[in-house]
Amino acid sequence: MEKKYKALALDLDGTLMDSNKELSDVNKKAVWEAIDVGTAVILASGRPMFGVLPVARMLELEKRGGYVLAYNGGNILDCKTGKLVYERYVPKQCIEDICIAARECDVAPLTYYKDKVISERADDEYVIKEAFCNSASIMQVDNIPEFVDYPVSKVLVVGEHKKLLPVKEKLENKYSDILELFFSEDYFLEVVPKNVGKDASLAELLSQLGIKREELIACGDGLNDISMIKYAGLGIAMKNAYDEVKNNADMVTDLNNDENAVADVINRFIINEQ
């Protein structure tokens, strides 16, 4: 009998990873079992590429096969070949206005350089939080737009939610035709190229793999996971997910991310198909 689900997209923070940002042996073995029965495993994260690759290496995806969808879908990497199969970048002319809007609203813009988080406010608590998520060091720069002379996949604006709302409004009013703006957490405003999101990039990857969206399971907990949860044939929210995520999911797990909810999903819907 042909498998019902042929692809599995997994958010990292709050989903595959526990609250200490660690990957349990139970989840790791379950992912390997999914790969062994022919499932295309996709790590779909808002993290930068260097923040996802350590998890991909723990899962041995370079040997076993699998994909990394980083920057909410701005880059997709085929782990086995080491090649990007999809890449999109923030238009250069937008970066200065993003930073100006952030400064005006007393919040911090940040982006990435090699394996570092770069920010004009290295001591900001939310900048530190993003660096922790990616096990990265922080590099203080005087002016992000002047520093970045390379393609930028994502700019993150971080701070209190009420201060981020006017930043989002300003940028949407000016750049709604070339930028996407959405929250991954209340305190993280994601700024990516137009039509970049976990849903759109998964559609691109599945097209390349010859897999239908109905054959995709997507698991997540954050606000930036809603698009892929709605897109997937089976969209699953973690027990610990935001209520808005749960409201858009086909089902909510009985277990949370500290209780190996992903392994339970794999066992139920891929290993022992229900």
What are the tens digits of pLDDT across the range 72-99? 999 999 999 999 999 999 999 999 999 9
Q: 């070339």: which residue's tokens?
A: 178
Mean pLDDT of the 218-241 span:
97
Residue 61 in any domain: the answer is: yes
Q: Rounded to whole angstroms, what are the CA distances from 25 to 9, 41, 59, 79, 258? A: 19, 17, 10, 20, 12
Question: Do residues 41 and 10 lie in contact, with contact meaning Cβ atoms separated by under 8 Å?
Answer: yes
CB 5, CB 234: distance < 8 Å: yes
- What CATH number does the domain containing 201 carry? 3.40.50.1000
Is residue 175 located within the same domain as residue 97?
yes
Nearest to 9 by CA among 32, 55, 36, 40: 40
Question: What pLDDT was estimated at residue 117?
Answer: 98
- Is 164 contained in some domain? yes
Query: Could you tell me if 78 and 49 are in contact, meaning their C-beta atoms sit under 8 angstroms apart?
Result: no
Residues 45 and 181 in one domain: no
Hey, CA dihedral for 222, 223, 227, 231, is it positive or negative?
Answer: positive
Query: Which residues make beta-bridge pairs with 242?
Result: none
Are residues 187 and 53 part of one domain? no
Same domain, 189 and 212: no
- How high is the pLDDT of residue 255? 98
Give the separation between CA 48 and CA 64, rounded to whole angstroms: 22
For the entire predicted model, the pTM comes to 0.93
Residue range 45-71, pLDDT digits in tens: 999 999 999 999 999 999 999 999 999
Q: What is the pLDDT of residue 111?
A: 98
Where is the domain boundary, 193, 213, 246? Answer: 193
Q: Which of 193, 226, 252 is where one domain is finished? A: 193
User: pLDDT (tens digit, 9 = 90+) per residue, 193-223?
Assistant: 999 999 999 999 999 999 999 999 999 999 9
Q: 128 forms bridges with which residues in the sheet?
A: none
| Distance between CA atoms of residues 124 and 256, nearest Å | 29
Does 236 lie in the same domain as 114?
Answer: no
β-pairing, 83-87 vs 108-113, is: unpaired
Taking CA atoms, 186 is separated from 81, 157, 222, in Å, by 36, 11, 10
If asked whether residues 124 and 100 sit together in one domain, one would say: yes
State how far the Cα of 119 lies from the Cα of 91, in Å rounded to an integer: 19
Q: Which residue range is the domain that position 131 belongs to?
A: 92-193
The pLDDT of residue 273: 79
Task: Looking at the structure, tell me whether residues 136 and 11 fall in a common domain.
Answer: no
- pLDDT top residue among 3 and 271: 271
Of 176, 193, 210, the one marking the end of a domain is 193
Which sign, positive or negative, has the C-alpha torsion 195, 50, 208, 150? positive
Tally of domains in the chain: 2
